[in-house]
Structure 1
Amino acid sequence: MNILYDAAMPYAEAFFSEFGNAKAFEVGGLTPNTLIDIDALFVRSTTKVDAELLKQANRLQFVATATAGFNHLDTAYLDSQNIKWYAAGGCNAVAVAEYVLSAIFQLALEDGFDPIEKKVAIIGAGNVGSALSKILEAFSIDFILCDPPLEAKGDERTFGHFDEAMQADIICLHTPLVKDGEFPSYHMFSKNEFESLKQTQYLINACRGEVVDNSALLASFIQGKKLNVVLDVWENEPLINHQLIPYTRLATAHIAGHTLEGKARGTSMVYDAFCRHLNKQIVSKLEQFLPDFKNKLLVNSSSPSFNQLFHIVTSIYDIKKDDGIFRSRMAKSEAFAEIRKHYPVRRESSAVTLKFSAKEDSENYNKNVAKIAASIGFKIAN
């Protein structure tokens, strides 16, 4: 069996070599000719899989993307050719949720508010929205879910209307990009929505750039509207509108989901799906390959709870650092794609062990902080 996989998929060789001849390809390295006699193709979002690419694919039976989104797959064409396809939905959900948490705590530090006193709207309650809701529950942060498509399908969770979500202190967008049908998300936030937002509210987009009308957002800023906006995703990536960057509170290069765990989970999920396709027993597990996080994170138990939680949250992911790198590099060149391509290794909370400076029986030890940290995935050493 012949397999081609994206070289950017962590541990791909270890996972896929058991199926036969598995070879890596670099982004941009695929041509129709390279698909001759290939049985399976595993990609990431940087590879568009369509009729043009596959016109010489004489043996292809399975295509998978190691990413949650699959807009880069022409699924209608794949279906018409009876080629099975799979997307690793939810692989980076925890990573994106932790990105949003870091954004909230950074904004809280800068603007002097307590996140626990804010209400969060999660628009889009799929894999990422659900992961974020669990984290907010751990912090006892009030939130509302808004997802008309899931609600219409009979999801038993409690949902609020869009108008209600628009009144929340912090609005987080986690919808797929949908341009047609009953519930389109394309330009969900445009001129009218920006006009209705108060300057005390926050908008965080970590789903798809086109969910927010970037031109209308820039126009609102230029017209003097005061908005607190965090953007990880942008329209027309990688050639985004540079004029928008200075107006944002926090800005990054579509890296919210770029943890080692998130990427490797995508590889693992593709492996599992291919095993199911072949009716083959799943042998390899992600835990076999992930490296240990070498150092314990020391938390000063005598500091206020917010300080402890801020330290914990930003030590696993510091959005302010990425924001600074993004602004510096984007000011000099079209570096968006390069920032993504060479993004440094980032881990998720589940990889880290916390050690509190005070023992559990000490009056300085805050059991609630440790409980919150444990509930969002951290290991506790004492």
Structure 2
Amino acid sequence: MRIVADENIPLLESFFGDMGNIRQVPGRTMSADDVKDADILLVRSVTRVNEALLGDSRVRFVGTCTIGTDHIDQDWLGSAGIAFSAAPGCNANSVAEYVLSVISLRAEKLCLDDWTDLSVGIVGAGNVGGELAHKLDRLGFDVVVCDPPLAEQSDEDDDRYSTLEEALKCDVVTLHTPLVRDGDHPTYHLIDESRLALLGRDQLLINTSRGEVIDTSALIRRLSEANPPTVALDVWENEPRINPELVEQAWLATPHIAGYSLEGKVQGSEMIYHALSRFMGLPVRKKAGQFLPEPALSKLSFTSAANEMDAAWVAIRSCCDPRRDDARLRRTLSLSADERGQAFDRLRRQYPVRREFSSLKIQLKGTSKSAQDTFRALGFKIKM
């Protein structure tokens, strides 16, 4: 059996090597010629999977090791009798940790003694937004959640969901919607000129969902006007040929890596391995934990002299510090348009190993119960 796979999928040989002969190709440039003799196709979000790619192939199973599916023409796959599986929620924790790190940087910039003084509006409460809301709630933040599709499915007296306008009033507004172009609740250019006008200088807008959820032209204009919001962007319209002017105007700019923790990527591979095993009628014998290496940093220790917030932020940024990714992306701005696009993909392909909070053991000596609760809520392992 022949398997064609995006070269950026981790642990391909470990999970799929005994299922067939694997050919790795760049996901962005994957062509019909690359897959015409394949039985199985494994992709990430940069590959458009449709009739143009697979119409003349013998592929019978497509797996995307990502939570998003807007790059997959599922209707055509169904009509062609091709099985499909995605990895919903695989990197939800990774994205949530990225957002928490960005919020910590914002609180530090504002010289806040307590980061929970910031209210957070979450737009989209699926796997990622739901995970983030859970963590923020445990930490004591005031959280406003907007998700019209989920609100419609809930009881009339369910007060968990608010309107988009209410979410846009928060100190931090973070976007976690899928990209939906049609239907009752489209998200394409959801954050348009009129909604950007509602955001002001004291607010932070974070986007880790899809670049097209924000109208780039409108955002560039808004950032050039009086009292603009601060923006932290991990996703962009027209990736990988992103707008350099928007990068320059953003407070934090990263190359679509919020979900790129090692745990998140490996879990995506594991979920598709399980789906493919079921499709082929094979037993599931492998788990991600078998392949995760020892983390480079395994323990941090804090004494009673440590300030709770400072200690939490040190721990957070020892695992995820978006400022490093921001610096790497900004170094590409002097390149030509074609070179910038290639560099954007290269930053993702060669992304340094990033481990999640759960990989790090926090030793607390004489610290308060509040500090212990904070580290537990963040997801760190605690050693007293």
Question: Which of structure 1's runs of 4+ aligned residues deviate more than 6 A?
Answer: none
For 2:96, the equivalent position in structure 1 comes to 97
Is 1:317 equivalent to 2:320 in the alignment? yes
Report deviation, 1:346.
0.8
* Residue identity in the other structure for 2:322: I
* Structure-1 separation of matches of 2:47 and 2:165: 37
1:37 positional shift: 4.5
- The counterpart of 1:235, out of the listed 232, 237, 247, is 237
Aligned to 1:337: 345
User: Percent same amino acid at aligned positions?
Assistant: 38
Q: Which residue of 1 aligns with 2:291?
A: 289
Ranges in structure 2 where 5+ consecutive residues have no aligned partner: none
1:136 to 2:136 alignment: yes
**1:4 alignment counterpart:** 4
Letter in 2 for 1:176: P
Query: Using a 3 Å threshold, how does the CA distance of structure 1 residues 240 and 23 change in structure 2: closer, same or farther?
Result: closer
| Partner residue in 2 for 1:21 | 21
Going from structure 1 to structure 2, the CA distance change for 1:328 and 1:294 (only over 3 Å counts) comes to closer
The aligned residue for residue 124 of structure 1 is 124
| Counterpart pick for 1:377 among 372, 376, 379 | 379
Please state whether the residue corresponding to 1:9 is helix, strand or coil.
coil
Q: Distance in 1 between matches of 2:287 and 2:50?
A: 31
Deviation at 1:284, TM superposition (A): 0.6
| Equivalent pair of 1:92/1:262 in contact (CA under 8 Å) | yes
Contact in 1 for aligned 2:301/2:363 (Cα 8 Å): yes
Q: Distance in 1 between matches of 2:36 and 2:345?
A: 29
Tell me the TM-score normalized by structure 2. 0.92
Q: 1:319 to 1:30 in 2, by over 3 A?
A: closer
CA deviation after TM superposition for structure 1 residue 144, in Å: 1.6
Question: What SS does the corresponding residue of 1:329 show, helix, strand or coil?
Answer: coil
Secondary structure of the residue that 2:143 maps to in structure 1? strand
Paired AA for residue 111 in structure 2:
G
Distance (Å, rounded) in 2 between the aligned partners of 1:205 and 1:28: 22
Which residue in 1 is equivalent to 2:190? 188
Count of aligned pairs? 375
- Which amino acid in the other structure matches residue 179 of structure 1? R
Output the CA distance in 1 between the equivalents of 2:208 and 2:28.
26
Contact conserved, 1:296 with 1:355, CA < 8 A, in 2?
Answer: no
Task: Report 1:33-182 matches (<5 A).
Answer: 33-58=33-58, 60-113=59-112, 114-154=114-154, 158-182=160-184
TM-score of the pair, normalised by structure 1: 0.92
One-letter identity of the residue aligned with 1:135: K
Q: Which amino acid aligns with 1:57?
A: S
Q: Go from structure 1 to structure 2 and tell me whether the alpha carbon gap of 1:198 and 1:294 turns closer, same or farther (over 3 Å shift).
A: closer
* CA deviation profile, 1:226-254 (whole Å, cap 9, x unmatched): 21111111111111111122222211111
Judging changes above 3 Å, is the alpha-carbon distance between structure 1 residues 167 and 31 closer, same or farther for their aligned structure 2 residues?
A: closer
- Per-residue deviation, residues 77-117 of structure 1 (Å, max 9, x unmatched): 11110111111111111111111000000011111123211
Q: Which whole-Å CA distance do the structure 1 matches of 2:282 and 2:298 have between them? A: 39
Against the structure 1 CA distance between its residues 239 and 37, is the aligned structure 2 distance closer, same or farther, given a 3 Å change threshold?
closer
**Cα-Cα RMSD:** 1.9
* In 1: Cα distance, 2:76 partner to 2:49 partner: 9
Q: 2:49–2:72: 8 Å Cα contact kept in structure 1?
A: yes
Q: Which runs of 5+ in 1 are unaligned?
A: none
1:92·1:263 contact (CA, 8 Å) conserved in 2? Answer: yes
Q: Which residue number in structure 1 is paired with residue 255 of structure 2? A: 253
Task: Look up the equivalent residue of 2:190 and give its one-letter code.
Answer: M
